[in-house]
Amino acid sequence: MKAPAPVNRHHTEKPEHKQSESLDLLCSTQSIIKAAVKRLGYTEEMYELLKEPLRVITVRIPVRMDDGSIKIFTGYRSQHNDSVGPTKGGVRFHPEVNEEEVKALSIWMSLKCGITNLPYGGGKGGIICDPRNMSFGELERLSRGYVRAISQIVGPTKDIPAPDVYTNSQIMAWMMDEYSRLREFDSPGFITGKPLVLGGSQGRETATARGVTICIEEAVKKKGISLQGARIIVQGFGNAGSFLAKFMYDAGAKVIGISDANGALYDLDGLDIPYLLDRRDSFGTVTNLFSDVITNQELLEKECDILVPAAISNQITAQNADRIKAKIVVEAANGPTTLEATKILDSKEVLLVPDILASAGGVTVSYFEWVQNNQGYYWSEEEVSRKLRKVMVDSFDAIYSMSQSHKVDMRLAAYMVGIRKHAEASHYRGWV
Ligand SMILES: NC(=O)C1=CN([C@@H]2O[C@H](COP(=O)(O)OP(=O)(O)OC[C@H]3O[C@@H](n4cnc5c(N)ncnc54)[C@H](O)[C@@H]3O)[C@@H](O)[C@H]2O)C=CC1
Ligand SMILES: O=C(O)CCC(=O)C(=O)O
């Protein structure tokens, strides 16, 4: 690995896309839900119910900035379907958050909870902001303001938030504290992904990456590839990507590429992952310390055995899918591959493990955290890991079998497995 050389790279990369291709996450999701509902034999009314969230609110959050001015931020909370139980899903802080994306993300949460058989529907939230340019104090005031703004529709038996892009256990702690103050009792079950001392679960911090690792272990068996020595590329070096890179490195795989919002590092001999983990900042940025940096798009197209997009949406598109050389793509990120690109990868016989399966480890251990909060009795890391492994292996098997028996791609198979529980619960409740 090359020696670090400080360079200043403040731009955020954006991929180019074919004019005709739909990058609208909600539209694409709806078209797969339609196909899944049809294949499962549900009615058109069922599709009408499930294609949109039941509830979405937009909130305006005034925050006193450090210079004394007041800035008004816009945030969202979307609740897709609460027929099975309370809704559940993360909150992201990102400049590109928008209502359509939050709606799609909440639908994916329903699908993840359906796949893993958790007693939840899907929820998701987001605030348009750039936490990388905000102070600790400003972030705390924004987090508390968001909870005050959405407090009527969230709660341990209504809708339970969690971390997502650019949010972490500190932000969960502020949000939990604000909610507990509003309700005037301690409410650890209001939010998951908390620090351990505030009722967080062992293993939640690494849960998303653990879940992705289990999917990779299952996928390599299907493809007859040995994980030992396999070449792996991971896009994104935050919570999901950095721990995944570490788990792959520890398993004897060769992590030949990693990236963050600034760019990518690539080395055919394998990167020194423990060193990079040590140097990354709290936003998952490390490439700014190096001079020999390539773009995210260049990295995605490098030859490898396993490619793991673990950053943002719409990264593998009709524009670059033909040039993806991986044998297996495991989506740790939400929505990294477009519909058109999914078809191209499928035609190239790439085994694609879709986001709603691959990234479901996070919400699974969030559920374990909520259960522990409700019972006030806490489990060891071994117990959490064992339970997570069973959920992930069973989920992978169910989707792989669905894909084989219905001769559909893994994404459609995952939607079919994920939607059933919400469809049946909505039907029993007499909604449709
Ligand atoms: N944290 C969790 O428990 C879960 C996360 N996910 C998904 O995993 C993905 C990553 O989330 P986290 O690791 O939690 O976020 P994070 O905030 O910890 O890290 C995000 C990473 O993505 C990189 N990034 C941001 N913008 C980028 C861009 N334009 N191009 C390339 N890289 C960029 C950042 O530099 C950072 O390395 C997201 O899609 C998230 O929704 C899914 C399930 C659970
Ligand atoms: O941990 C959770 O409850 C939700 C995680 C999340 O937002 C996701 O899986 O996309």
Task: Go through the domains of the chain in sequence order and give each one's CATH number.
Answer: 46-187 (3.40.50.10860), 206-353 (3.40.50.720)
* Residues ≥6 apart with Cβ < 8 Å to 390: none
* Predicted TM-score of the model (pTM): 0.95
Check pocket membership of 167 for ligand 2, CB cut-off 6 A. Answer: no
259, 237 Cβ separation under 8 angstroms: yes
* pLDDT at residue 1 in the model: 37
Task: Using the mean position of ligand 1's atoms as its centre, give its distance from the Cα of residue 54 in Å.
Answer: 26
Residue 66: other Cβ atoms inside 10 A: 11
Half-sphere exposure of 216 (CA within 13 A, CB side): 31
How remote is the C-alpha of 232 from its chain's centroid? 19
d(CA 154, CA 351): 38
Check pocket membership of 334 for ligand 2, CB cut-off 6 A. Answer: yes
DSSP state, residue 322 = G
* Helical spans, DSSP H, in 234-348: 239-250, 273-279, 296-300, 339-347
Q: Which atom of ligand 2 is nearest to the CA of 193?
A: 1
Task: Using the mean position of ligand 1's atoms as its centre, give its distance from the Cα of residue 108 in Å.
Answer: 16
Q: Which residues are catalytic?
A: 124
d(CA 424, CA 166): 35
d(CA 80, CA 88): 9
Beta bridge partners of 79: 55, 123
d(CA 250, CA 403): 31
Check pocket membership of 162 for ligand 2, CB cut-off 6 A. Answer: yes
d(CA 311, CA 367): 23
pLDDT (tens place) for every residue of the chain, 432 residues total: 333 333 333 334 544 444 457 679 999 999 999 999 999 999 999 999 999 999 999 999 999 999 999 999 999 999 999 999 999 999 999 999 999 999 999 999 999 999 999 999 999 999 999 999 999 999 999 999 999 999 999 999 999 999 999 999 999 999 999 999 999 999 999 999 999 999 999 999 999 999 999 999 999 999 999 999 999 999 999 999 999 999 999 999 999 999 999 999 999 999 999 999 999 999 999 999 999 999 999 999 999 999 999 999 999 999 999 999 999 999 999 999 999 999 999 999 999 999 999 999 999 999 999 999 999 999 999 999 999 999 999 999 999 999 999 999 999 999 999 999 999 999 999 999
Residue 340: other Cβ atoms inside 10 A: 20
Closest listed ligand to the CA of 281: 1
Q: Which atom of ligand 1 is nearest to the CA of 92?
A: 41
* pLDDT at residue 23 in the model: 76
Q: Which atom of ligand 1 is nearest to the CA of 335?
A: 39
53, 106 Cβ separation under 8 angstroms: yes
Closest listed ligand to the CA of 335: 1
- Nearest Cα residue to atom 30 of ligand 1: 261
